[in-house]
Structure 1
Amino acid sequence: MSNPYFQFKQFTVWHDKCAMKVGTDGVLLGAWTSVQGARRVLDVGTGTGLVALMLAQRSPADVKIVALEVDTAAVEQAKENVARSFWKEQIEVVQADFNQYHSSGKFDVIVSNPPYFVGSLKCPDVQRNAARHATSLTYEELLKGVAGLLAEDGTFTVVIPADVADRVKGIASMWNLYAARQLNVITKPGGVPKRVLIAFSFDNRECVVEELLTEIARHKYSEEYIMLTREYYLKM
């Protein structure tokens, strides 16, 4: 049986009620996303609350974070994880469908680790399907919603499979969102990127593209990955 929780340096994430467990994608998103100057943050599809907690850890105390989730079990789990943390006054877990979500104000930072198995074979677990397949929230719907909620000088950061990066950029441009930063994630020496993190803004400027190798050998992490995640992982 897998461990029902994941222990970080400053908080613990229980994931026994969630379809999607704590994983590298979420940790990369939480560690790489810039929150500099942000006052309002939105985490779309928070799941366990992992990314919201990671962003809260390195944000000033007056930063407010909305952790949005549609799945009832995940909402319950996220609320429990937040309640056990140092940042329960900063993070508000909200149960809502992103397509119907409305906010009285714009967000300086929006993040999402969205469903990613577009059109692939589904498993019988309905909850796990919703978390893994882009049927409940498509990239088109996600980017349209982000464009309406993002502040004029805000950023939207997302982690997606490398093979849909160009498609997502194309959809984003329809809503005047453009890639400002991109991190291509490689899991082993000589490998090709399987995941990409992209930070979008309304400012159409040249995109800064970087590469991150996570492991130089099995279970031996690169210095760059250690530097990025050392404030979170216990053993880094």
Structure 2
Amino acid sequence: MSAGFQCKKFYVAHDQCAMKVGTDGLLLGAFAPLPAPGSTMLDIGAGSGLVSLMLAQRSQGLSPIDAIELDPAAACQAAANVAASPWPQAVQLIKGDILTYQPGKRYRLIVSNPPFFQQSLLSKDARRSQARHTSSLPLPKLLQKAAELLDEKGVFGLVLPLSEGEMLLQQALHAGWYLAQRCEVKSKADKPVQRLLLTLRRTPCQALLSQLIIHQEDGNYSDEYRTLLKDFYLKF
């Protein structure tokens, strides 16, 4: 198993993290809309710190990012990844539970690659179960906490599997959120939707609907996927 993931401008070690670097985090880190320079951002469930570091790179280290992670080992590794990156001052790692987090401020962008398995069997590895299953962070509570912490003009960005994303979106609209962006992600054009990239707002807005195909028919990465991740993937 790989001990880490090398991006163009930073390295993410993840051997101490229950959930390794994967496509979901890469998609969210590249897709989430950056706020104006200097605006504060929050990464809920930071894991290895991948998404926070992608946001730091995109904002050139000019916007403060708070990254909160419940698992102590993952939080320590994320802090080390941040310290070794070109933007050590941009990201502050917080070991703790988002549900009890009281920062005394609001954020212009909140992102989360949350645990999403609901019906599947819990892993024998307690840390992996915590990272993967909604029992550790139920989606309704995540929405409620994001509403508390988001600036009135802010954006909440998430990546989820299709069924869980649809469920969260239904709950969000019922709770007074508004859909800003919905991007359906497919591995290939003829395959079913695998992930939803969502952005939500607390004020009315026009929803932008799109689709992202990761691979072409020949198996190579699509031009749109390459464009999205060209600043991060070594192979692009």
Q: What TM-score do you get using the length of structure 2 for normalisation?
A: 0.96
**Aligned counterparts of 2:48 and 2:11: Cα–Cα separation in 1:** 10
**Aligned counterparts of 1:7 and 1:90: Cα–Cα separation in 2:** 19
Map of 2:131 onto structure 1: 131
Listed one character per residue, the Cα deviations across residues 51-107 of structure 1 (whole Å, up to 9, x for unaligned) are 000000011443100000000110011011001001110100001101100111100
Map of 2:99 onto structure 1: 99
**Aligned counterparts of 1:49 and 1:150: Cα–Cα separation in 2:** 20
Structure 1 position 218, deviation (Å): 6.3
Structure 1 position 217, deviation (Å): 4.0
The answer to whether the 8 Å contact 1:20/1:47 transfers is: yes
Name the stretch that deviates more: 184-193 or 161-170: 161-170
Q: CA RMSD in A?
A: 1.2
Task: Name structure 2 gaps, 5 residues minimum.
Answer: none
Map of 2:12 onto structure 1: 13
The answer to whether the 8 Å contact 1:56/1:87 transfers is: yes
Task: Name structure 1 gaps, 5 residues minimum.
Answer: none
Q: Residue type of the partner of 2:124?
A: P
Map of 2:212 onto structure 1: 212
Q: How many matched pairs?
A: 235
The answer to whether the 8 Å contact 1:147/1:175 transfers is: no
Map of 2:27 onto structure 1: 28
**Aligned counterparts of 1:211 and 1:24: Cα–Cα separation in 2:** 16
Structure 1 position 219, deviation (Å): 4.7
Structure 1 position 164, deviation (Å): 2.2
**Aligned counterparts of 1:230 and 1:91: Cα–Cα separation in 2:** 22
Moved over 3 A (4+): none
The answer to whether the 8 Å contact 1:26/1:50 transfers is: yes
Structure 1 position 37, deviation (Å): 1.1
The answer to whether the 8 Å contact 2:117/2:133 transfers is: yes
Equivalent pairs: percent with the same residue?
39
Q: What TM-score do you get using the length of structure 1 for normalisation?
A: 0.96
**Aligned counterparts of 1:56 and 1:114: Cα–Cα separation in 2:** 20
